[in-house]
Amino acid sequence: MSLVNFTTREITCKIVYYGPGRSGKTTNLQYIYDQVPPERRGRMVSLATQTDRTLFFDFLPLDLGTISGFTTKFQLYTVPGQVYYNATRKLVLHGADGVVFVADSQIRQLDENLESLQNLQVNLLEQRIDVRTLPLVFQYNKQGLPRELVLPVEELDDAMNFRGVPSFGADALTGNGVFETLRSVSELVLRKLSEEPSA
Ligand SMILES: Nc1nc2c(ncn2[C@@H]2O[C@H](COP(=O)(O)OP(=O)(O)OP(=O)(O)O)[C@@H](O)[C@H]2O)c(=O)[nH]1
Ligand SMILES: [Mg+2]
């Protein structure tokens, strides 16, 4: 849940990168961390197994500077994608202002993507977050793999993006699409915030 402090004129928003195991969520945050100037970011916290699977979450605080007179901070989180970490996913998802669904574009991963998307919907419903109005963008990652291995963005949109929200092809390893995705979800979150009646 975004925190708006009118006294210190500070806004803090929480963005969660969600998706199946190995889709590239942690890679997104690592790329963002590497690119953002040190004065704009805090320490990135990653809790991973020895084989680099996210065990609990990754956390990256970003300072977006001043927007409409408010110091604006974003906290980026990733969930652990592996199916059996659902309790942790629920914890990390709690209070999210926006979600980036990172799908793995590989043809053979389609079922995992759909399963994870369904899991997201169930967990949001359980937390009484309105799935239809939550700021959400899709990122179809690993588009840089050979063409015969991946589904094109349009087909992934047909399979997953029923709300018709913004979607981006990406290659998180090289950073292609990473900032476009972040910018898009940030805009949706800030727009929603400005539409809500102020506290
Ligand atoms: N070819 C290719 N590999 C990628 C891309 N993005 C991530 N990877 C690789 O995919 C593997 C998994 O990436 P992670 O970022 O750890 O995946 P994750 O979604 O955080 O996985 P969990 O923490 O298990 O949920 C790593 O070996 C990455 O280097 C991409 O765009 N292209
Ligand atoms: Mg991870």
* Domain ranges (residues) in the chain: 3-195
Q: Identify the residue whose C-alpha is closest to ligand 1 atom 32.
A: 142
- In short, whether 24's Cβ falls inside 6 Å of ligand 1 is yes
Which ligand 1 atom is the nearest neighbour of the CA of 28? 15
| Residue 183 alpha carbon to ligand 1 centre in Å | 21
- The pLDDT assigned to 69 comes to 86
Given ligand 1 and candidates 27, 52, 153, 171, which is best to mutate, with the most ligand atoms within 8 Å of its CB?
A: 27
Tens of pLDDT, residue by residue, the chain (199 residues): 677 888 888 999 999 999 999 999 999 999 999 999 999 999 999 987 777 788 888 999 999 888 888 899 999 999 999 998 999 999 999 999 999 999 999 999 999 999 999 999 999 999 999 888 999 999 999 999 999 999 999 999 999 999 999 999 999 999 999 999 999 999 999 999 888 765 4
- The pLDDT assigned to 154 comes to 98
Q: Alpha-carbon distance 170 to 179, whole Å?
A: 10
- In short, whether 165's Cβ falls inside 6 Å of ligand 1 is no
Which CATH superfamily is 3-195 part of? P-loop containing nucleotide triphosphate hydrolases (3.40.50.300)
Contact 85, 21 (CB under 8 A): no
Q: Alpha-carbon distance 182 to 128, whole Å?
A: 24
Q: Alpha-carbon distance 172 to 150, whole Å?
A: 15
- In short, whether 144's Cβ falls inside 6 Å of ligand 1 is yes
Question: At 133, is the secondary structure helix, strand, or coil?
Answer: coil
Q: Alpha-carbon distance 61 to 40, whole Å?
A: 9
Which ligand 1 atom is the nearest neighbour of the CA of 79? 25
- Give, rounded to a whole angstrom, the gap between the first and last alpha carbons of the chain: 13
* Cβ neighbours, 10 Å, residue 194: 10
* Cβ neighbours, 10 Å, residue 67: 13
